[in-house]
Structures are given as C-alpha cells and as structure tokens.
Amino acid sequence: MAEQHLAVVVLAAGEGTRMRSRKPKVMHEIAGLPLLGHALVTATQLGASYVVPVVRHQKELISEYVSAFFPSAIIAEQDELPGTGRAVECALEAIPADFDGAVVVTSGDVPMLDVATLEHLIDTHLESGAAATLLTAVLEDPHGYGRVIRNSAGAFLEIIEELDATDAQRKVNEVNAGVYVFDAKHLRDALASTGTHNAQGEKYLTYVAEAFVKSKQKVIAMQVTDNWVVAGINDRRQLAEVALELNLRICEAWQLAGVTILDPASTWIDVTVQLGEDVTLMPGTYLRGFTTIDEGSTIGPEVVMTDTQVGAGASVIKAHVTGSRIGDGASVGPFAYLRPGTDLGADGKIGTFVETKNAKIGAGSKVPHLSYVGDAEIGVGSNIGAGTIFANYDGVDKHRSTVGSHVRTGASNVFVAPITIGDGAYTAAGTVVRRDVEPGAIALNVSPQKNLADWVLQKRPGSKSAEAAETAQKAK
C-alpha cells in the first residue's frame, strides 16, 4: 500500500444524544480504551500520513485525550453546519489542499473495526480505481442505519437514512456501515456540491456516493462477513453488547496464545494487558490498564488488577491490586488490598486481610495476616507478625518506616513512623515501637502481666465463669 498517500478521517463531532450522558459518546470506554481510542489505534496502525479526528461537541475534553495519547493526529474542528459530510469537509480543510491520495473515513463510535478489514477495503478501492468504496452489512434488525439501495443487477445506487426512507426502503436489511474510502479530489468536489435536503437538514456524507453514481463514476459497496467489525454504538445497550463481544475475542486470542481462561464470561481483559505463556486466569478476574503477567502465574478467582506488573510463577487470589509490582513466585491474598506503590519481592507474601500502600517488601519477606503496611520499606527474609499496623500518619504528615532484613516482629505490633528496625532484630508481641531498634536487639515495652487471684469469684459470683473456675480449682 502506498502509505504516503493515505489520510484517515475519524468522525467524532456528533452529540451522541442517544447515550444520555454528560460524557461525550466517543469517550465511553470498552476494554480499557475510550471508543475513540480504539478507532484511533486502528487508524494509526494503517500507517497513514494524516490521521484526522473531527471534533465539535465537548471538543476540549476529546482534544485533550487525543493530544495526550495520539500526539501526531491532526485535530479538525467541525463548524456549526451539521452532518457527516460537513465533518469530512472540515477534516479535508485541516490537511494540505494538494493531498491527492485515498481518504479513509471511519467513525469514533465503531470500536471493533480492525486493520485487516480496512486494508482489504483500501486494496479493493485502489485496484478497482473506484471513486468510492464502502462497507455494508446485512443485519437482522437494520433499524436506525442508512439502507443500501442497489439496482436489479445488484449495483450500488444510493444510501437512504431511516428517517428519509419509504416503507419499502426500510425493509432493506443491507446497511451502510459508515466506513468508506474515497479518492481525495473526487471527494472534495462532490462535498462542495452536496446539499442538506433531508429530514435532519444535515450535509450527509452518504450523498457523495450517490453523486458519484449519477456522474457515472464507480462506487463499490462491499459486504463484510463479520458484522461485529462495523457495529456502531449509539446507546448504552449497544455499548454493553459490543464490550461483551470484544472481551470474548480478547479472551479467545489469549487462549490461542497459551493462556488458560477457565471462564471467559467472567474474565475481563483490557486491550492494553499483556499475558505470558501458561498464565491461568480463574473466574471473576478483571485485568485492566497496563497490567502485565509473566509466564506461569495464576490470577483469581476474584481479582481486580490495574496497571500492575506480576512476575513469573506468582499467585494472586481474591485481591484488589492497583499500581503495584508482584515479584516472581510471590503470593498475594486471599482478601488482600494492594494500593499504588506496593512492590513485593520475589517469593514474598502479602496474605489475608492485609492492606499495603507505597510499600517495598523485599524478596522472601512475608506479611501474612491482618496488617496495614503503608509508606514502608522492608528488607529481605523478614516476617511481620499478625495484626501489625505501620502507623504512618501523625494526623498532619505521613512518615516512612524502615524494617531491615531477617527481622522477626511479634503479633499485634504498632510501628510509629518514622522508625527504623535494624537487620536481624526482633520485637515482642504487643509492642508499640516508637524508638529505633538496633540490629540484633529485641524491642519490648509491654508492662509485666498481673493476675488478680479469685477476681471472678468475688466480682461475678454465681456466674457460669465463677462456677467453671470453682470446678477447676476443686479438681486441682
């Protein structure tokens, strides 16, 4: 393909009223990207010289997203004239006036359109020398789409929108997918003479195809075999339907690449996620954002993981994990909450009912039970006793704690930060550590235990406890 001769226009200026949302339609997300993101990734992969998203409605918000993630895209603004034809006209004004290659037009609300389908469309267009080549789909329920009208020989004649169609035309179930390739020069000329004579008073892009037919130029309408690739999203039911189908395809692709997914119906994987060979995903697992899982790790059941890197051979069960790193062979959960900045070393453990944040836990170190570890660094081979709280917040500022290597801390400790516990040190059960502990020392600050004999017999006479105590004393 002659790459330097391609411009891709992505329409995203419409209001999207059927979404009933404050958010622009094309910014609604599926599989971890806004709808527009999917369209722009595909457009970018075509290797075009110009990728031109067209914006108008909530243009600041959309432009901010485009500039951040697709900096080489040329953002075109549509003016107050409505319609898909006007949108394309505005896009053409944003690229050099002498551009004479092929112009691909796609929509920001058609997220499953893939590179292979577009390349096939472009190749057909270039080989046939058509003025326009467009994609169509045969739908069981064509409601809402523009209908493709052909002559008795099957040649393309025109596209009629639902609102402008006669009853007979509405019965046609071949629809315009909204994906086109045009010759730039023909497109410019045809748009300049396109009117707005329709129910919506808009300048329709579809009129261009009809104009070409009338002036005896070639227009090819190609039917897709897989309707999902051209599924457009207009409301939230369609958003859910397309999200579901896309997710099943993502799961299937990973299964074919060597990942075991027990239940694709309850496993959701963003397009941005990377998985290694022999990873196992158990039911109820959500892998989001820039998450990567290396070979042989098992995730789930019931894990929500976002922007997290997991090493090889690790295990994460029933956990909520964000912005963290989990080392090779490490284990997390069940019932663990790993907040941003958690970095668990190889073969380390974050166990049951443990919350961590900004915590570097060294190789082989363990926080097995009922603890909070915040703003801390723990060396290698250390064990944090059950029920330990890293008290990192004095009510005004956050402070850090440092625990050395091969440290053993007792159950029910509080580490009042800032604090340092040296290598090989111990702390006794129930210690509130307020002062640094030297390497090899044991810290203990519990007061000596006092037992008041017969307290229960005197203070709780006649109770079951008193009775049990008396029986035990007599048996002695």
Q: Looking up tokens 């004579």, which residue turns up?
A: 197
| Residue 247 makes contact with ligand UD1 by CB under 6 A | no
Q: Select the binding partner of residue 410 from Ca ion, ligand UD1, none (C-beta < 5 to 8 A, by kind).
A: none
CB nearer ligand UD1, residue 27 or residue 261: 27
Structural tokens at position 36: 């527009």
| Residue 89 makes contact with ligand UD1 by CB under 6 A | no
| Residue 206 makes contact with ligand UD1 by CB under 6 A | yes
Structural tokens at position 148: 């493709």
To ligand UD1, the closest distance from the beta carbon of 108 in angstroms equals 4
CB nearer ligand UD1, residue 206 or residue 267: 206
Size of the site for ligand UD1 (CB under 6 A): 27
CB nearer Ca ion, residue 136 or residue 297: 136
What string marks each residue from 131 to 170 as x (binds ligand UD1 by CB under 6 A) or -?
--------------xx------------x-x---------
- Which one of the spans 102-110, 187-195, 217-225, 383-391 is the region binding ligand UD1 (CB under 6 A)? 102-110
What string marks each residue from 226 to 245 as x (binds Ca ion by CB under 5 A) or -?
------x-x-----------
What string marks each residue from 175 to 194 as x (binds ligand UD1 by CB under 6 A) or -?
xxxx----------------
Cα–Cα dist 295/116, whole Å:
29
- Which one of the spans 171-179, 217-225, 255-263, 413-421 is the region binding ligand UD1 (CB under 6 A)? 171-179
Residue nearest to Ca ion (CB): 232
What string marks each residue from 253 to 282 as x (binds ligand UD1 by CB under 6 A) or -?
------------------------------
| Residue 13 makes contact with ligand UD1 by CB under 6 A | yes
CB nearer ligand UD1, residue 52 or residue 319: 52
Contacts of 154 (CB under 8 A, 6+ apart): none
Q: Catalytic one among 320, 369, 399, 406?
A: 369
CB nearer ligand UD1, residue 178 or residue 333: 178
Contacts of 124 (CB under 8 A, 6+ apart): 130, 133, 220, 222
CB nearer ligand UD1, residue 111 or residue 351: 111
CB nearer ligand UD1, residue 196 or residue 352: 196
Among candidate residues 87, 136, 131, 123, the one with its CA nearest the CA of residue 107: 87
Size of the site for Ca ion (CB under 5 A): 2
Q: Select the binding partner of residue 78 from ligand UD1, Ca ion, none (C-beta < 5 to 8 A, by kind).
A: ligand UD1
Binds ligand UD1 by CB under 6 A, chosen from 42, 58, 78, 133: 78
CB nearer Ca ion, residue 175 or residue 208: 175
| Residue 107 makes contact with ligand UD1 by CB under 6 A | yes
To ligand UD1, the closest distance from the beta carbon of 235 in angstroms equals 10
Cα–Cα dist 99/7, whole Å:
9
Binds ligand UD1 by CB under 6 A, chosen from 9, 12, 30, 433: 12
Cα–Cα dist 188/101, whole Å:
12
- Which one of the spans 6-14, 245-253, 295-303, 397-405 is the region binding ligand UD1 (CB under 6 A)? 6-14
CA-CA-CA-CA torsion sign (75, 103, 12, 210) = positive
| Residue 82 makes contact with ligand UD1 by CB under 6 A | yes
Active site residue 125: no
Q: Select the binding partner of residue 379 from ligand UD1, Ca ion, none (C-beta < 5 to 8 A, by kind).
A: none
- Which one of the spans 7-15, 118-126, 255-263, 277-285 is the region binding ligand UD1 (CB under 6 A)? 7-15
Contacts of 260 (CB under 8 A, 6+ apart): 278, 279, 280, 281
CB nearer ligand UD1, residue 64 or residue 277: 64
Residue type, 474: K
Provide the binding-site residues for ligand UD1, judged by CB under 6 A: 11-14, 54, 78, 82-84, 86-87, 107-109, 145-146, 159, 161, 175-178, 204-206, 232, 234
Positions annotated as catalytic residues are: 369
Provide the binding-site residues for Ca ion, judged by CB under 5 A: 232, 234
